Amino acid sequence: MEVILLERISRLGQMGETVKVKDGFARNFLLPQGKALRANEANKKKFEGQRAQLEARNLERKSEASEIAEKLDGKSFIVVRSAGETGQLYGSVST
């Protein structure tokens, strides 16, 4: 299925690109989350009309993320986990 990307998606493409993806990936992830539109003539015209709004939204998100990154820069975090007698951690350390 060919889709028009509404935002940058890693390993897939930039906003505005028309890419071919597997049907399941488009139906289950890209289309429901509003990250892409089906690539037909009506949606291409719709995308061109909304392009400026989408670019502004993406720029706003990027600036918010950089503000958060500046607040967290230089700070250290301590994660408390249970460990055995030998210092081996129980379970996995993840997010």
What is the Cα–Cα distance from 30 to 32, expressed in whole angstroms?
6
Task: Give residue-wise pLDDT tens across range 56-84.
Answer: 888 999 999 999 999 999 999 888 877 88
Domain boundaries defined on the chain: 2-72
- Ordered DSSP codes for 14-72: -TT-EEE--HHHIIIIITTTTSEEE-SHHHHHHHHHHHHHHHHHHHHHHHHHHHHHHHH
**Could you tell me the pTM of the whole model?**
0.61
**CATH architecture under which domain 2-72 falls:** 3-Layer(aba) Sandwich (3.40)
Task: Give residue-wise pLDDT tens across range 2-39.
Answer: 999 988 899 999 988 999 999 999 999 999 999 999 99
Separation of first and last alpha carbons in the chain = 33
